[in-house]
Structure 1
Amino acid sequence: MQQRRGISSFFFDRLLPVGTVVAFLLVLWYGFAMLLNAPFERDQAARANAEISTSQLIQNTLSQDRPVLPAPHQVADEIWKTTALKKITSKRSLVYHGWITISSTLLGFAMGTALGILLAVLIVHSRVLDKSLMPWIITSQTIPILAIAPMIIVVLNAVNISGLLPKALISAYLSFFPVAVGMVKGLRSPDLMHLDLMRTYNASRSQVFWKLRWPSAVPFLFTSMKVAVAISLVGAIVGELPTGAVAGLGARLLTGSYYGQTIQIWSALIAAAVVAAVLVTLVDLVSRIVMKRMGMVR
């Protein structure tokens, strides 16, 4: 009986709402695909001095080779062909391109997370750095990444640094900010009463940090890391664009735009969204395990 209630609760609380939203988005997507692709079909019929029925118009708009907006089934078919039907080592495989982007994403995410934690610790323990460094951290994010990415690539190429590291640095540049801000908030989250109690016990600064501030900051850290890992992926893709990369999801976007392959562009976009969702889910899973072992969740 309890198992049935659990299944029913899962269906009505999670599966049904998500399924309803997905169904609505698919209907909306098909509607816009027909609307945006219809002018081309009408123009073709007008040039041939032929009439086109509504059913034929709908069928044609959903099966164009180079549509303005590809239909969901076209994108799904492209993803299937470039994943399941291609070898992983093939340069036409989305898995191959996805791994190139994921590798720079993970490296940049690790670098950005480490930098964010370090800056947060320094800011919390130094009023001078708090007043001088924090405004610059915030200001750094006002610079458009599309403007700074080519500069980073050119400067590093000038000193013979290319490949994975420049893209990882761009990812780190984007990802350190949410970690730094979240950790500052987390390290300052303990109550004054608890801090006073630690001082009463004559605890050192390192003991206050490891026994009070750090455990209090862990939930803030993982929340920030979810944002950071998603934005790291964006940084990795943006880093591939100014280099004219031949591998990576950014490269798929570039080649698709060069040759007007909108289906390829959308398949790369959907693949990037799936990768981002998987990375965020993995961070969330790690956070649940860590916080459960720390006794913060049941």
Structure 2
Amino acid sequence: MKHALPVLTVLLAIVLAWYLAAVALNAPWAQDQAARAGTNLTPTALLHATMVQERPVLPAPHQVAKGLWDGIAGQKITSKRSLVWHAGITLSATLAGFAIGSLAGILLAVGIVHSRVMDLSVMPWAIASQTVPILAIAPMVIVVFASMGVTGLVPKAMISAWLSFFPVLVGMVKGLRTPDRMQMDLMRSWNASRAQMFWRLRLPSALPYLFTSLKVAIAAALVGTIVGELPAGATAGLGARLLSGSYYGQTIQIWAALFTAAALAAALVAIVGGIERVTLKHMGLAR
């Protein structure tokens, strides 16, 4: 209870500030509508009017909650109006991109640690790749793959992989270089091969760093997938819900999709965290 109280206090403050902002941003439209109708709104009526608008500038928390309920529990999962269905489309590309990006990051990290040439050549390019805004890359990736007749999951997965490989690369390189010189010399004194040093020393030392970077990578992969859905004019996925909501001024739909994406990201990070605890405990590396 002592740990929950500060969290609940902050959450209450956020909700209160959200309601105040909703009133301030939605009030001009309500007053304008009342002026056109030739009526004056009392403070109570004005407050109520800011809370029930169909297309508010900033939806109130209860409106977003209702949008989430309607999109998750109020629709069949197979319905294209279901947030669960759209989240499933986004999730498939996210997991594919996460797998590709993580594998690429791990393989590059192993090469960089064992080859000075790769360290001097690949690492600077990997860092430079992250300086290019993903919003500039995504349309080009979509167009290139579309010109080859490839649409759907693959282009989104590649954009997702682009964002997710770098955290894994950096974390894995840091982890593989964790063993100090004394540990390496001890392994050499036992006539251990490079493969044995990798599997029995470097990799176990790198696992905590790897799992930490995987948590960042899977959240980045989700962002990449959603960004990839925007320039493609997709009709499915959380990015498509954001896009259609912005086209038609459905701000409640936009916020509901945003909260669904946030919940999906939290769930994915929690799953990776669970795998981390089980793996490190099994290997005797639990912290």
TM-score by structure 2 length? 0.98
Please tell me whether residue 91 in structure 1 is matched to residue 84 in structure 2: no
Determine the C-alpha separation between the residues in 2 that align with 1:291 and 1:28.
41
SS at match of 2:2: helix
Pair 1:12-2:7 in alignment: no
Query: What is the match of residue 291 of structure 1?
Result: 280
- Residue from 133, 138, 142 that aligns with 1:149: 138
1:145-167 Cα shifts (integer Å, max 9, x gaps)? 01110101111111111111110
Aligned to 1:213: 202
Q: How does 1:256-267 map to 2 (within 5 A)?
A: 256-267=245-256
* Structure 1 equivalent of residue 71 of structure 2: 82
Alignment partners' CA distance in 2, 1:120 and 1:16: 42
Q: Counterparts of 1:191 and 1:20 in 2: how far apart (Å)?
A: 45
In structure 2, the residue matched to 1:8 is none
Counterpart residue number, 2:27: 38
Please give the per-residue CA displacement for 1:121-158, whole angstroms capped at 9, x wherever unaligned.
00000001101110000000000101110101111111
Distance 1:84 1:42 in 2: 34
User: Are residues 1:70 and 2:59 paired?
Assistant: yes
Residue type matched to 2:45 in 1? Q
CA distance in 1, matches of 2:194, 2:213: 25
> Aligned partners of 1:42 and 1:145: how far apart in 2?
40
Q: Tell me the residue number matched to 1:139.
A: 128
Q: Amino acid of the residue matched to residue 26 of structure 2?
A: N
Partner residue in 2 for 1:161 = 150
Residues 1:232 and 2:221 are matched in the alignment: yes
The alignment partner of 1:12 has SS state of coil
The 2-side partners of 1:198 and 1:20 are apart by: 53
Question: How far has the Cα of 1:191 moved from its partner?
Answer: 1.6
Give, in angstroms, the shift of residue 20 of structure 1: 1.7
Corresponding position of 1:113: 102
Cα distance in structure 1, aligned partners of 2:286 and 2:148: 49
Q: Give secondary structure in 1 for the equivalent of 2:162.
A: helix
For residues 260 and 171 of structure 2, the distance between their equivalents in structure 1, rounded to whole angstroms, comes to 28
1:185 and 2:174 equivalent?
yes
Q: Aligned partners of 2:118 and 2:111: how far apart in 1?
A: 7
- Find the partner of 2:260 among 257, 263, 271: 271
Which shows bigger deviation, 84-93 or 20-29? Answer: 20-29
> After the TM superposition, which segments of 4 or more aligned residues of structure 1 sit over 3 Å from their partners?
none
The correspondence for 1:60, drawn from 36, 49, 63, is: 49
Q: Hey, what does 2:40 align to over in structure 1?
A: 51
Tell me the SS of whatever aligns to 1:296.
Answer: coil
Q: Distance in 2 between matches of 1:116 and 1:212?
A: 19
Provide the rounded CA distance (Å) in 1 between the counterparts of 2:270 and 2:108: 26
1:3 matched residue in structure 2: none
Shift, 1:82, TM fit: 1.2
User: Percent identity at matched positions?
Assistant: 62
User: Per-residue deviation at 1:50?
Assistant: 1.7
Unaligned runs of 5+ in 1: 1-10
- Count residues with an aligned counterpart: 287
Cα displacement string for residues 194-243 of structure 1 (whole angstroms, at most 9, x for unaligned residues): 11100111110000000000000000000000000001000000010111
RMSD: 0.8
Aligned mates of 1:200, 1:161 — CA distance in 2: 53
1:125 aligns with 2:109: no
**Shift in Å at residue 47 of structure 1?**
2.3
- Deviation of 1:45 (Å): 2.0
Residue in structure 2 matching 1:243, options 232, 240, 251: 232
TM-score for both structures, normalised by structure 1: 0.95
* Structure 2 residue identity aligned to 1:97: H
Task: Give the gaps of 5 or more residues in structure 2.
Answer: none
Pairwise CA distance, 1:92: 0.3
Partner Cα distance (1:17, 1:213) in 2: 40
In the alignment, the residues of structure 2 paired with residue 23 and residue 276 of structure 1 have an alpha-carbon distance, to the nearest angstrom, of 23
